[in-house]
Chains A and B, each alone.
Chain A
Amino acid sequence: MPLVGCHHCDAVLVEPEVPDGGAAICQRCGGTLFRRQRATVEITLALSTAAAILFVVANAYPFLSFEMQGQTTRTTLSSGVFALWDGGRYVIALLVLGTTVIAPALQIGLMLYVLAPLHFHRPAPFAVEAFRLVERCRPWSMIEVFLIGIFVAVVKLSDMAEIVPGIALWAFGLLIPILAGGTSFLDAELVWREIGDLD
């Protein structure tokens, strides 16, 4: 009988039968044990590809422009980081860079790197290390929090000047549900079985 462990409370259980698309809940602590998603590679691969395109758009174009007495400034993700860096706020600049650019980029890029070869049932070299890094990056990828930050900034500036949303703002808006979907359709156990050293 295959055993499965609960990573919330450490109960070791006999693996329950779970229908496709369902999730197993730990009887002891109520935490989610795993999700069963047989088409996980195809679904998450499609979502990660969409996320990659949107992420490039979100980074390449300004998300807000600010007009005041004939002067206009625009901001992209990286221009915010540069402005902090120029002002001598190095630690905060790195924190913002890490949580809004590096962590999401790693999360999306490494997911593609792990899943695309799996579609052909051929694990990529260092897939184990890459997938481990994906899981480590997830809590540090904070794009949805950044979007709320944009709304707050717009409200704060609205009676000072004219604020115009840019293309990147729409890309952000789409990116968030797609990233969330990628996480909820991911059957990590299935991926580990495919890429891991066990047979």
Chain B
Amino acid sequence: MSALDPTLTSAIGPHAQCHVCNLVVGVPEGPTDGLACPRCRTALHRRKPESLSRTWSLLIAAAICYVPANLYPVMEVTTLGVSQADTILSGVIYLAAHGTWPLAVIVFIASVIVPVAKIVALGYLALSVQRASQWRPRDRARLYRIVEQVGRWSMVDVYVVTILVALVHLGSLANVEARVGGFYFGAVVVLTMFAAESFDPRLIWDQLIDDADRDAQKAGGDDDGG
């Protein structure tokens, strides 16, 4: 009844999977250059092209942008002629000081923790693939799915600045202006989202396929676990 044959994947064999519509297409062995999905006409790749080098370049760029994103102010608040520049972190401290702990925690996690965690997690995943790690592939696959979902929440601070800038423009009475930190912060979010998209989670499983192949050959290939 088991539908899974672990040696049957589209990494090398007679199938490739369209990464847009998920159709499993019968293809000749070897590279799929020039082939397109018969259902949605997207170019077929067994794996996302240059997945790891793209992921690494985007991650490094994101890590570089993370520094000015936190050092430079994201906005400047002027009330009655007194100006105060706010960084991401001072914004969180302000929320905490005003007794809105739940919101302070949410913003701290979304703006400070999530970008770092995302860069570290994707870097770890890329490294584990390069080292052909065998360690807990199911958990690494789950880690990737979490990273993919959670990154968007970092945009919350960019939106807060947008709303404050739009609402508070009463001249010398009260005024909020966006500052350059928001640019770097937005760049971190966008770069890490592209990095997550470039990483091909199927690479996590490829090393295991090689091993399963080897085992199947050793055992004479007559085993159906079920």
Question: Are A92 and B17 in touch, CB under 8 angstroms?
Answer: no
Question: Are B164 and A11 in touch, CB under 8 angstroms?
Answer: no
Q: Which residue of the partner chain, among A34, A69, A135, A146, contacts B20 with CB atoms under 8 Å?
A: A135
Given A83-B169, A149-B162, answer yes or no on A192-B23 (Cβ-Cβ < 8 Å): yes
A-B contact count (CB 8 A): 212
Given A71-B170, A159-B98, answer yes or no on A80-B165 (Cβ-Cβ < 8 Å): yes
- Among the listed stretches B8-16, B56-64, B126-134, B214-222, which one makes contact with chain A, having 4 or more residues with CB under 8 Å of it? B8-16
- Which residues of chain A come closer than 8 Å to B167, judged between CB atoms? 64-66, 73-75, 153, 157
Contact with B along A135-173 (1 / 0, CB 8 A): 100011010011011111101110111000000000000
B84 within 8 A of A: no
Please measure, in the bound complex, the distance between the C-alpha atom of A30 and the C-alpha atom of B137, giving whole angstroms.
Answer: 10
Given A5-B17, A11-B6, answer yes or no on A89-B182 (Cβ-Cβ < 8 Å): yes
Given A69-B173, A142-B152, A156-B94, answer yes or no on A4-B24 (Cβ-Cβ < 8 Å): yes
Per the CB 8 Å criterion, the residue count for chain A at the interface is 69
- Which residues of chain A come closer than 8 Å to B17, judged between CB atoms? 5, 7, 10, 12
Question: Are B21 and A80 in touch, CB under 8 angstroms?
Answer: no
Q: Which of A55-114 contact B (CB under 8 A)?
A: 64-66, 68-69, 71, 73-75, 79-84, 87, 89, 91-92, 95-96, 99-100
A29 within 8 A of B: yes
B93 within 8 A of A: no
Question: Are A92 and B21 in touch, CB under 8 angstroms?
Answer: no
Question: Are A12 and B163 in touch, CB under 8 angstroms?
Answer: no
Report the nearest A residue to B10, measured CB to CB. A10
Question: Are B3 and A148 in touch, CB under 8 angstroms?
Answer: no
Question: Are A29 and B138 in touch, CB under 8 angstroms?
Answer: yes
Please measure, in the bound complex, the distance between the C-alpha atom of A15 and the C-alpha atom of B22, giving whole angstroms.
Answer: 12
Q: Which residue of the partner chain, among A91, A132, A150, A159, contacts B183 with CB atoms under 8 Å?
A: A91
B35 within 8 A of A: no
B202 within 8 A of A: yes
Q: 9 A–B contact pairs at CB < 8 A?
A: A8-B144, A9-B201, A28-B6, A99-B155, A132-B20, A149-B156, A153-B164, A156-B160, A198-B38
Top 9 A-B pairs ranked by shortest CB distance?
A149-B159, A196-B39, A5-B17, A10-B202, A80-B166, A75-B166, A153-B163, A14-B3, A80-B162
